[in-house]
Structure 1
Amino acid sequence: MRLGFIGAGRMGRPMVHRLIEAGHEVRVLGRSAETRAALAQEGVQALAGVTEVAGGADAVVVCVFTDEQVREVCLDGGLLTAMPEGSVLVVHTTGSPGTAETLAARAASRGVHVVDSPVSGGPHDIAAGRLTLFVGGADDAVARVRPALRSYGDPVLHVGPTGAGQRVKLVNNALFAAQLGLLADAVRLGAQLGVDEAALLGALPHGSSASRALAGVAARGSVAAFAAAVGDFVGKDVEVARKVAAELGGDLGVLDEALGTLADAVRPAGRSVPQEGTDR
Structure 2
Amino acid sequence: MRIGFVGAGRMGRPMVERLVGAGHEVRAVGRSAAARTALEGIGARAVAGAADAAEGADAVIVCVFDDAQVRDVCLGGDLPARMPRGSVAVLHTTGSPGTARAVAERAAPHGVGVVDCPVSGGPHDIAAGRLTLFAGGDADALAKARPALGAYGDPVIHAGPLGAGQSVKLVNNALFAAQIGLIADAVRLAGQMGLDEAGLLAALPHASGASRALSGVAARGSVAAFARAVHAFLAKDVEVVRAVAAELGGDLGAMDRAIGALDGVLDAGEA
TM range (shorter): over 0.9
Task: Give secondary structure in 1 for the equivalent of 2:9.
Answer: coil
Residue 162 (structure 1) aligns with: 162
Quick check: 1:180–1:213 contact (8 Å CA) kept in 2?
Answer: yes
Contact 2:125 2:131 in 1 (8 A): yes
Correspondences of 1:238-257 after superposition (within 5 Å): 238-257=238-257
Unpaired runs of 5+ in structure 1? 272-280
| Aligned-partner Cα distance in 1 for 2:226–2:140 | 40
Give how far 1:79 is off: 1.3
CA contact (8 A) 1:50 1:78 kept: no
Q: Which amino acid aligns with 1:198?
A: A
* Deviates most, 261-270 or 15-24: 261-270
What is aligned with 1:191? Answer: 191
How many angstroms does 1:42 deviate by? 2.7
SS in 1 for 2:90: strand
Mapped to 2, the partners of 1:102 and 1:48 lie a distance apart of 25
Q: After superposing the two structures, state which structure 1 stretch, 163-172 or 71-80, moved more.
A: 71-80
Aligned to 1:274: none
Give the corresponding residue for 1:97.
97
**How much does 1:190 deviate?**
1.1
Partner of 1:261: 261
Q: Is the 8 A contact 2:22 2:151 kept in 1?
A: yes
* Post-superposition offset of 1:47: 1.3
Work out whether residues 64 and 70 of structure 2, in 8 Å CA contact, stay in contact via their aligned partners in 1: yes
Mapped to 1, the partners of 2:62 and 2:251 lie a distance apart of 29
Number of the residue aligned with 2:44? 44
8 Å CA contact 2:2–2:26 kept in 1: the answer is: yes
Residue identity in the other structure for 1:185: D
Match for 1:85: what amino acid? R
Give the 4+ runs in structure 1 shifted more than 4 A: none
Taking only aligned residues, the RMSD between alpha carbons, in angstroms, comes to 1.1
CA distance in 2, matches of 1:207, 1:79: 49
In the TM superposition, 1:42-121 aligns within 5 A as: 42-121=42-121
Task: Give 3-state SS (helix, strand or coil) of 1:171's partner.
Answer: helix
1:151 aligns with 2:133: no
Identity %: 69
Aligned length: 271
The residue number in structure 1 matching 2:16 is 16
Post-superposition CA distance 1:59-96 (Å, at most 9, x none): 00000011111111112223111100000000000111
Alignment partner, residue 127 of structure 1: 127
> For residues 195 and 128 of structure 1, what CA distance do their matches in structure 2 show?
38
Paired with 2:9 and 2:137, the residues of 1 have a C-alpha distance of 25
Question: Residues of 1 paired with 2:261 and 2:52: CA distance?
Answer: 48
- Larger CA deviation: 203-212 vs 84-93: 203-212
